[in-house]
Amino acid sequence: MSGSFYDGLVTGPDGRVVYADGSPIDYDAPGSLARYVQKDGSLEYLITLYNGKKGYFLNKEVSVEFENLGTVSKAAYEREHEVTGKWSFQWNLQGTDSRKEYSLNEPLGDTGATVVRAELSPISMHVEYHFPYQEYTETGYDQDGNPIESTHFVEAPPLAGVQLKDGTVYQYLCDGGAEGYCADDRETYAATFANDRIIDTDAVAYLLFRKKVDGLYSESDFYRVAVNE
């Protein structure tokens, strides 16, 4: 789906951007707020892969090559401060023993959605809901003021993040991903997301689902589904 050098930033529990170690942004520091260079002088590159088939990436070989790294001047679209060379990496995706899988039967309030399955790994989350397909119609207007109707499907309460056993809430944990109905199945709704930070799956107490999709969120604005009990 995507790839980029890791900037050292994550979304904190309150929705504000912080450094990965939890320290606040130093807005008075010169230069970029991002911290691309690690303490040992290295860079980290994040690649997000997505495929709807379970286990698709296991035991696959990955090969990545970088050449002539540098920064780009936005004004001239020319490389600056270029470091010439070639860096090659190969490895095999083996998965992790830290992945958790849960069979559930947790209704989300009176929304008609029931969480039936969840998978957690240190870097991703996947949930499945029983949520029979529903449609609704919206009326808009074209440039001449004529009404236009459009039909949409009702979305299940979105997966937001997790609450840890110590009470810490990561309500903006979900990064790139996808959600919607499974192919040829109007009963099962699924959501799969990469995490914006590495988590300890043993420390997770609840999955969080939003009751609303915009505005500021308080503790009462989430459905909580217990795991790791």
How far, in Å, CA of 198 to CA of 20, rounded?
10
Cβ 33 vs Cβ 79: under 8 Å: no
In the block, which residue shows the tokens 């090659």?
88
- pLDDT tens digits along 123-153: 999 999 999 999 889 998 988 889 999 998 8
Residue 102 pLDDT greater than 90, yes or no? yes
Closest CA to 48 of 169, 194, 162: 194
Quick one: pLDDT at residue 64? Answer: 93
Average pLDDT across the chain, whole number: 87
Q: Residue 185: phi, psi to the nearest 5?
A: -140, 105
Least confident of 56-70, 77-91, 92-106, 156-170: 77-91
The CA-based angle 182-186-189, given to 5 degrees, is: 50
With 70 as the cut, is the pLDDT of residue 184 above it?
yes
Q: Where are the beta strands (DSSP E) in 36-113?
A: 45-48, 61-73, 78-92, 100-107
Top mean-pLDDT range of 17-21, 60-64, 77-81: 60-64
Confidence of residue 78 (pLDDT cuts 50, 70, 90): low
Phi, psi of 219 (to 5 degrees): -60, -35
Structure tokens at 56: 């698709």
Tell me what percent of the residues of the chain surpass a pLDDT of 90. 41
* Residue 64 CA, distance from chain mean position: 23
> Largest Cα–Cα distance in the chain?
62
| pLDDT tens digit sequence for 14-32 | 778 888 887 888 777 666 6
- Reading the block at residue 156, the tokens are 């299940």
